[in-house]
A and B are shown apart, each in its own frame.
Chain A
Amino acid sequence: GQSLEQPSEVTAVEGAIVQINCTYQTSGFYGLSWYQQHDGGAPTFLSYNALDGLEETGRFSSFLSRSDSYGYLLLQELQMKDSASYFCAVSDSNYQLIWGAGTKLIIKP
């Protein structure tokens, strides 16, 4: 079957760096996306990797290794407002996204 694995919960300290991993097993692969969802809020798109390597957008970076079926989201200089759930998702066809179950990021002062 198709699946994405990511940790259910990660805890980090304000100002630190945290990495959220995602491994996937899908029948097709076009790219890996990351979304952020605050409690009670809408999931919002963060990044997309189609090629191997690191993509940086401000404090957030996303990495992909297609050969390892693995990616991660790196959050630097953590702020309390980064407390949220983070979802990885694989584009496996024209319109289909296969989702992970989400990682709840808890940030402590």
Chain B
Amino acid sequence: ETGVTQTPRHLVMGMTNKKSLKCEQHLGHNAMYWYKQSAKKPLELMFVYSLEERVENNSVPSRFSPECPNSSHLFLHLHTLQPEDSALYLCASSQDFLRGLFGWAGELFFGEGSRLTVL
């Protein structure tokens, strides 16, 4: 139990569907992230929110739409996806971008992910 809960764990959708992924963190963190994980590839950062404001959008296609209503919840809205979007989508949280003496330790707390299959 990492303190970050993602639902659903598995999702199969057609290219014309609209669905949403949900993430909730119980750690009191104020930064949340969406990552895409594909087999044998580095994790790809999609979106970052700090204090509910979007900080980073790494040129993600508009068919992915994030929403962060408060510091504990994060959504990823999906519509008209492509088969190549099939992947594991990971949510993570951190205690903001706390920069200590040695920089940001990069300590993220991840959920177990939502396995998305686009048919």
Q: Which of A42, A94, A99 contacts B42 (CB 8 A)?
A: A99
Contact: A43 with B110, CB < 8 Å? yes
Contact: B40 with A50, CB < 8 Å? no
A76 interface residue per 8 A CB criterion: no
Could you tell me the distance in whole angstroms from the C-beta of A87 to the nearest C-beta in chain B? 7
Contact: A31 with B111, CB < 8 Å? no
Contact: A33 with B107, CB < 8 Å? yes
- If over half of B's interface residues share one DSSP class (helix, strand or loop), that class is named, otherwise mixed; here it is loop
Q: Footprint of B on A, CB under 8 Å?
A: 4, 8, 30-31, 33, 40-45, 48, 50-51, 87, 89, 91, 94-102
Contact: B2 with A101, CB < 8 Å? no
Contact: B56 with A48, CB < 8 Å? no
Q: Footprint of A on B, CB under 8 Å?
A: 2, 4, 31, 40-43, 45, 48, 50, 55-56, 90, 97, 99, 102-113
In the bound complex, residues from chain B placing their C-beta under 8 Å from that of A42 are 2, 4, 90, 110-113
Could you tell me the distance in whole angstroms from the C-beta of A27 to the nearest C-beta in chain B? 14
CA of A50 to CA of B105, assembled, Å: 8
Could you tell me the distance in whole angstroms from the C-beta of A82 to the nearest C-beta in chain B? 18
In the bound complex, residues from chain A placing their C-beta under 8 Å from that of B108 are 43, 45, 97
In the bound complex, residues from chain B placing their C-beta under 8 Å from that of A91 are 103-106
Known: A30-B104, A42-B110, A48-B106. A94 touches B90 (CB 8 A): no
